Structure formats: structure tokens, C-alpha cells
Amino acid sequence: DGGITQSPKYLFRKEGQNVTLSCEQNLNHDAMYWYRQDPGQGLRLIYYSQIVNDFQKGDIAEGYSVSREKKESFPLTVTSAQKNPTAFYLCASMTWLADTGELFFGEGSRLTVL
């Protein structure tokens, strides 16, 4: 079945280590997004990509990096520069056809920095 797969679901890391979260989609969607969610808060946009080999910063890009080498994949690296990386991370994808702009979300990755 088509969908978005995020891995790992849970991740524990020591402070100062870089961490890469995987996001893969087989929906043939052009656009992909990364959001961060803190407890009791809404979704905040980290990075987004509308096409392969291109991406733009969202509202909270500092301390994060992404790549978009393949249409299906949009990995997010949480670098040691991110001051408070413990959070729930959500990846989404979308294609824009006619009037359809529905976002499809993965199950999320919960990162805890010890």
C-alpha cells in the first residue's frame, strides 16, 4: 500500500550527537515536509521541499539539515547545534493535482536527547 514511512519510531541519543530521521514515501508526491511538535503544542514547519534537489527553510530550521536527492526520500538531520532537540517529528508529503492538496503524514519519530 502507498504511504509514508518514518523511522525510527523512537530514538534516544546523547547530547551533542547528530541524528538522522528517515522519511520515505511511495506515493509519487513531489512535495515533502518536516514538522516538529512539542508536548501540548501545534506543528511547526522545519523544512520543506517541492522538488528533487531543492528545499526551503521553514519557521524553525536552525539546527536542522535536510537533503532531497530522490523523490521518495527526505531525511532530516538533527545536528548538535539544535539547542532543544527532544520532540516529536512528523514527515508529510503532498501532490498538487487540480483541487487536491491533501497532506499525507507518517507515524512520526519521537527523539529523546539524554
Partner 1 sequence: DAKTTQPTSMDCAEGRAANLPCNHSTISGNEYVYWYRQIHSQGPQYIIHGLKNNETNEMASLIITEDRKSSTLILPHATLRDTAVYYCIVPGSSASKIIFGSGTRLSIRP
Q: Please, what is the Cα angle at 103 between 8 and 10, to 5 degrees?
A: 15
Q: Would you call the peptide bond into 8 cis, given omega within 30 degrees of 0 as the criterion?
A: yes
Only one of the segments 12-20, 60-68, 71-79, 89-97 lies at the binding site for partner 1 (rule: CB under 8 A); that segment is 89-97
C-alpha cell of residue 64: 536542522
Q: Please, what is the Cα angle at 64 between 23 and 50, to 5 degrees?
A: 55
Look up residue 20 and give its DSSP letter.
Answer: E
> Closest separation between CB of residue 100 and partner 1, Å?
8
Residue 80 CA, chain-centre distance (Å), reads 17
Q: Residue 16, interface with partner 1 (CB under 8 A)?
A: no
Residues 42-81, interacting with partner 1 (CB under 8 A): 42-45, 48, 50, 56, 58-59
> Closest separation between CB of residue 40 and partner 1, Å?
9
Per rule CB under 8 A, count of chain residues that contact partner 1: 30
Query: Of these, 25, 33, 46, 74, which contacts partner 1 (CB under 8 A)?
Result: 33
Nearest to 54 by CA among 69, 73, 76: 69
Rule CB under 8 A: which residues touch partner 1? 30-31, 33, 35, 41-45, 48, 50, 56, 58-59, 88, 90, 92, 94-96, 99, 101-108, 110
